[in-house]
Amino acid sequence: MKDSDILQRLTEVLESRKSADAEKSYVASLYAKGLDKILKKVGEESAETIIAAKNGDSKQLIYEMADLWFHCIVLLSQQNLTPDLVLKELERRFGLSGIEEKSQRQQLKD
């Protein structure tokens, strides 16, 4: 599956969980507990990502960052937003940020 398909498919699955039984789906249980619970998970997984990176353990880092991104995407979904909005924002910044642009112009000159 291509990267973009993974995010698209994940978004669809999260959307479908909005009508799922909170006792049977972890995501549905997060929606049911509400925004604060989802944000708590974002904070928790961020700390675990930092700890994994300090442990110098690549496998653990990938695992914890997947947890962080997953809960970020649940947050977006709960707010009726989608990950492609975040990616478009990242795209928009390229060549727009003063520092990045200066660096790119510099490279063109070199």
> Binding of a second copy at residue 3 (CB under 8 A)?
yes
From CA 74, how far away is CA 11, in angstroms rounded?
8
Do residues 92 and 84 make contact, with C-beta atoms less than 8 angstroms apart? no
Q: Cα angle at 56 between 52 and 57, to 5 degrees?
A: 65
Instruction: Select from 18, 77, 99, 108 the one that contacts a second copy (CB under 8 A).
Output: 99
For residues 35 to 54, the per-residue mask of contacts with a second copy, x marking binding by CB under 8 A and - elsewhere, is xx--xx-xxx-xxxxxx-xx
Nearer to a second copy, 16 or 32 (CB): 16
How many CB atoms lie under 10 A from the CB of residue 71?
A: 22
CB of 101 to a second copy, least distance (A): 10
**Contact residue for a second copy among 15, 18, 33, 81 (CB under 8 A):** 81
